[in-house]
Structure 1
Amino acid sequence: MLSRNRVFDLLWNNRNNYYFRMTSLYLVSALLLVAAPSLVLGAKDYSQALGLSNKFYEAQRSGPINDKIVPWRGNSGMSDCTVGGWYDAGDHLKFGLPMADSAHTLLWSLYRFKDGYTRANQLNQMYHMIKTPLNYFKAAWDPALRRLTAQVGDGTADHAFWGRPEDMKMSRPCMYVDSSHVGSDIAGETAASLALGYLTFKQKESGYATQLLNKAKSLYAFAKTRSGVFTGSSQYYPSGNWKDEMCLGAVWLYRATGTQSYLNDAKSYVNLNKPWAQGWEDKMLACQLLMFEETKDAKYKNAVINFFNDWATSPGAGKVDQTPCGLVWRSQWGANRYAANAAFIALVAAEDGINAASYRKFAVEQINYILGDNKKNAKQCFSYEIGYGNHYPQQPHHRGSSCPSHGTCNQNANGPNPHVLLGALVGGPKVDDSYTDVRSDYIHNEVTTDYNSGFQGALAGIVHLQQRGALPRTSNKCPCPT
């Protein structure tokens, strides 16, 4: 195949030949489309959106901060029983289950779509960012004491304080999974994240990777002896099952070690039921897809297809609701989260050869909606990712960004938050596409680490498609001019 430079040379040398000029014009156009797949009609700047999302996670850091990635953040939670990790949402609590879910999804996206991070110039930033939860998980699991930190902070005390995390003075008690408290849901997915961390860093930092793997193996072994869901935090993140998380832990440990017993365990945990959604509480869809990758058994593939028959097809009886502009809408709590999670899994499934064309089109259309293809009037196209585009949320329900660096913090102050929470994905619209940008609306305007994880994973998958010149044509119902 001719290089672009060679084509241009030929075009110049034959510039007086009309036939050659016209033929070359078509050839140059084709090459430019391959070289710049973002020229596909309706495409967004997915690389920019990916970089912004990475920055959001840096804003959620607890513990020591020794850089200026987010200049308005500083050290906080330095006396916690387990220092570090991410604050869960707009508050200052640290929860084991959603943190492990977020980290697992992000690590999976890096494992599967590393070239997407590379093309977006975000690979080094991703390596830096993802160490925050990995280091926390390392510290949270003490194999000698057989104890895993499950939660840091008291919900009632935390939610009574509207201020910067740097200014916290309330007591921050801990909850544990240990010999007296079961919690294989939290332990299983934490082990999955640690095992994936090993796969991520084994070529880059082998010593660090080995530490992660050793922690993953001992934590998983402990979780097998303490099966059951963690109940200490039922007010906030009650899990209905633990086998999906243990399945993830087993699959990734099998992939990391090649030990057959892990795969045998995963087969005992997986089921073929149709999940309600892919989210922090239910990861059976992810388990089904990973089991198809490992076994090539059609029953797992069919389970994945069965799920997407309700999500990636036209609305109808038994199908997931869609907003008028086309967002698959599962719940008012984190509507964007569920759509983005489904988009990420769809892109991974497409890589596995499952209905690739239709799943990729569905996924890109969902992300396009979130980034602005939701135009219902002539005024604006609204991005639900803060900092992307010209119109995005100004008042996310987030304590740290809503407080000035010095002085009094007023939750009900008028106007935009003093600090722009770059990259954060807010909960999203109501089922009729309506949305009000107001700080007090924590249902639609809060941010969380798990809201962004599938969204970022899908962005990496889409940039991966751009890298290959395989970005699908989309037909969003309410497109925004690009």
Structure 2
Amino acid sequence: MFSTTIFIVAAISYFRITDALTFHERALSPTVQIPSPEYVKLLNHSILFYEAQRSGKLPSDNRVPWRHDSALQDGLIINNDLTGGYYDAGNYLKFTFPLSYTIFMLSWGGADYIEGYQLANQTNYLRNQIKWATDWLIKAHPHPSTLFVQVGDLGVDNNYFGPDSNIPIPRPCFQINETNFGTDAASMAATAFASASHFFNQLAQSKAGNQEDSKYAETLLMHATQLYNSSHNIFPYSRYQTSVHAVEDAYASTDYMDDLILSGVAMYRATRNITYLDQSLELYKATAGISSHSEPLGWDNKWGALYVLFAELMLDSPDHSEALERRIDAENYLDNIVSGITVNKTNGGLLFWDFFSNSNSNQNAMSASHLLLSYSAKVLRPLSEKSSDKDTMLTKIKRYEGKLFIHQLDYIFGKNPINQNYVVGELPNSPKYPHSASASGFKTLNEAIKNPSDLSQAHIIYGAMVGGPSKNDSFSDILLDWTQAEVALDYNAPYQNVLAYQVMFNPKSPFYVSDIVDSNNQDEKPKTVSSPVPLWGIVLAVVLPVLIFISLFTFLLIRRRNQKDTEKEQSSSRNNIDQEERTIRQLGVDEFRSSGSTLVVI
């Protein structure tokens, strides 16, 4: 299927240090001094949603009071501890393939928008959010070529819709290994490890970082390297459902090449070893139709991420022709989204890919938004600084950061034909019946079927973005409608990245909140703050002269009044003295003294 050249390239084991001109990590600096309180809250709630999805023994600082320790025997039947991690969606299964995508996305956004998390005081929550996932992924990778890809039985789990305290056991555990491999799952896990390693290294260099972050990054990179080597050197390449049939009805993979290439990109970002990038580019170019993919970025399709990341990584390459080709690929993909060539829109304006958006339309809209914003911030804006045609570059920037992206987020927040907010717990028009067994409060599936609208025992799973509407903008806020009302780890990942971007670059709150401070045009962000002088400085500059004038005028007025009073007192005193002198003349000095008065001589 692929030329022998690919396999030769895949077997390369030596590494040379990257040319310093190839890639410079560009840290994004916030243009907002005080973030929107609403976006800070939304960002916090998205992280809180993941905490509500935790499996295993909960930490002492657990912030979700209705969750309990759960699934404490995971892995016991195969003598491999698989407790912990996150439940994938509305039930209690754990899947490695979509979890790896989630880790990749959160780490990507976490590294790029780390200062946004710091502005929002969410950095430690983000650290714990990603680490809770990677700690489990480490457990799921006990040997270089062994990876557990599922915990729990789909048939059993789908028939249980009760609390986390009574999850049915036993819970089978499924793995891929050297003899029954899965190139896609192993590659994507390598990507997750490498991306998280890159994030923790970035975190270690930030104000909120520490030495433990650096050490943890090294541990993650070790696991990434092992899985990368296995996925590139175990032949023939294969999809993991050929080895683990249990995943076929849940998260079957359509291809492995995007995962294989992405693992090299992630390894290059984490290590700066150019061989990883060279190998990924060779595989990329050898793949038929590499530049014609139009699928939305999601757990099964990563081509959109590849286009954007290749363009970023090659931005400073001395091979200008190669760098330009990668930007052309990225902009073809993104321009086709913005122009509506490869994607439709609902009448309300939500991006909607036929087939792909049938059960997760919101995720696809948010992942497209993430790609547009990332490409603009990490590629277009650096180019605009040295471009001879800045007007053209700024037009592109406005195109990617402008109305389309804003409309997607506004749609999620309720600016749509049915005025439906799609994030649980945020507004009165948020979903009331998200498909979440743990939050529903029901004890059995039969109870949920008989009384699906009973909220008497339900809990609010704050921050969860549900699957989303259909192509005609309709939405079923129905507990057991998993196609539209389910919550899932991969749904929230790109949404959270967009929120972190907003915290960094948009001082405005969402449309449903009164604007606090903003004179900026949304189509021109990220940019410098609208004025180098803060608002309090402007107010002080205007008010202070007025206060000084009023104070001076009052002082002069009082002084003049005092002068008049003094003159009056002096006049009165002179009259009294004159009267005393007349009395002396009349009575004589001796008589005056005998009266007890004091003689004043002027």
Task: Tell me the equivalent position of 1:135.
Answer: 135
**SS of residue matched to 1:333:** coil
CA–CA distance in structure 1, aligned partners of residues 444 and 142 of structure 2: 40
CA–CA distance in structure 2, aligned partners of residues 470 and 114 of structure 1: 25
**SS of residue matched to 2:447:** coil
Give the counterpart letter for 2:499 in structure 1: L
Maintained 8 Å contact 2:422/2:430 = yes
Maintained 8 Å contact 1:54/1:125 = yes
- Structure 2 residue 357 is the aligned partner of structure 1 residue 357: no
CA–CA distance in structure 2, aligned partners of residues 299 and 368 of structure 1: 34
Give the counterpart letter for 2:467 in structure 1: G
Maintained 8 Å contact 2:47/2:126 = yes
Task: Tell me the equivalent position of 2:119.
Answer: 119
Q: For residues 48-127 of structure 1, what are the structure 2 equivalents within 5 Å?
A: 48-66=41-59, 67-81=61-75, 82-127=82-127
Give the counterpart letter for 1:109 in structure 2: G
- Structure 2 residue 364 is the aligned partner of structure 1 residue 338: yes
Deviations 1:144-173 (A, max 9, x none): 6x3111111111111111112321132211
Task: Tell me the equivalent position of 2:79.
Answer: none
Q: For residues 255-274 of structure 1, what are the structure 2 equivalents within 5 Å?
A: 255-270=269-284, 271-274=290-293
TM-score, reference length from structure 1: 0.84
**SS of residue matched to 2:231:** helix
Following superposition, the deviation at residue 267 of structure 1 comes to: 0.8
Following superposition, the deviation at residue 462 of structure 1 comes to: 1.9
CA–CA distance in structure 2, aligned partners of residues 34 and 392 of structure 1: 28
Give the counterpart letter for 2:460 in structure 1: V
Structure whose residues are more often helix by fraction? 2
* Cα pair distance change 1:84/1:409, threshold 3 Å: farther
Following superposition, the deviation at residue 312 of structure 1 comes to: 1.7
- Structure 2 residue 485 is the aligned partner of structure 1 residue 445: yes
Following superposition, the deviation at residue 224 of structure 1 comes to: 1.3
Unmatched 5+ residue regions in structure 2? Answer: 1-30, 76-81, 205-209, 285-289, 316-322, 381-395, 509-517, 524-602
Deviations 1:223-277 (A, max 9, x none): 1123321112121111111121222221121122222221122113333222311
Following superposition, the deviation at residue 308 of structure 1 comes to: 2.1
Task: Tell me the equivalent position of 2:441.
Answer: 403
Maintained 8 Å contact 1:278/1:286 = yes
Task: Tell me the equivalent position of 1:456.
Answer: 496
Task: Tell me the equivalent position of 2:540.
Answer: none
CA–CA distance in structure 1, aligned partners of residues 347 and 481 of structure 2: 22
Match of 1:285 among 304, 315, 323: 304
Task: Tell me the equivalent position of 2:221.
Answer: 213
Maintained 8 Å contact 2:161/2:445 = no
Unmatched 5+ residue regions in structure 1? Answer: 1-32, 39-43, 475-482
Task: Tell me the equivalent position of 1:24.
Answer: none
Q: For residues 156-195 of structure 1, what are the structure 2 equivalents within 5 Å?
A: 156-195=155-194
CA–CA distance in structure 2, aligned partners of residues 295 and 307 of structure 1: 17
Q: For residues 320-335 of structure 1, what are the structure 2 equivalents within 5 Å?
A: 320-330=343-353, 331-335=357-361
Match of 2:267 among 249, 253, 261: 253
CA–CA distance in structure 1, aligned partners of residues 154 and 445 of structure 2: 22
Give the counterpart letter for 1:247 in structure 2: I
* Cα pair distance change 1:269/1:472, threshold 3 Å: farther
Give the counterpart letter for 1:253 in structure 2: M
Maintained 8 Å contact 1:60/1:88 = yes
List structure 1 runs of 4+ shifted beyond 4 angstroms.
Answer: 33-38, 406-409, 467-472
Following superposition, the deviation at residue 396 of structure 1 comes to: 0.7
Maintained 8 Å contact 1:403/1:410 = no
**SS of residue matched to 1:437:** coil
TM-score, reference length from structure 2: 0.68
**SS of residue matched to 1:150:** strand
CA–CA distance in structure 2, aligned partners of residues 280 and 470 of structure 1: 38
Task: Tell me the equivalent position of 2:232.
Answer: 224
Maintained 8 Å contact 1:101/1:280 = yes
Task: Tell me the equivalent position of 1:155.
Answer: 154
CA–CA distance in structure 2, aligned partners of residues 185 and 48 of structure 1: 36
* Cα pair distance change 1:235/1:427, threshold 3 Å: same
Q: For residues 10-49 of structure 1, what are the structure 2 equivalents within 5 Å?
A: 45-49=38-42
Q: Which has the larger radius of gyration?
A: 2
* Cα pair distance change 1:78/1:36, threshold 3 Å: closer
Task: Tell me the equivalent position of 2:454.
Answer: 415
Deviations 1:152-196 (A, max 9, x none): 111111111111232113221111110222212111121112112
Give the counterpart letter for 1:246 in structure 2: L
Give the counterpart letter for 2:454 in structure 1: G
Aligned residue pairs, count? 428
Give the counterpart letter for 1:75 in structure 2: D
Task: Tell me the equivalent position of 1:22.
Answer: none
Maintained 8 Å contact 2:295/2:304 = no
CA–CA distance in structure 2, aligned partners of residues 142 and 291 of structure 1: 31
Give the counterpart letter for 2:522 in structure 1: R
* Cα pair distance change 1:438/1:300, threshold 3 Å: same
Give the counterpart letter for 1:251 in structure 2: V
Deviations 1:16-71 (A, max 9, x none): xxxxxxxxxxxxxxxxx975685xxxxx9322211111111111111110233111
Provide the alpha-carbon RMSD of the alignment. Answer: 2.3
Following superposition, the deviation at residue 346 of structure 1 comes to: 0.9
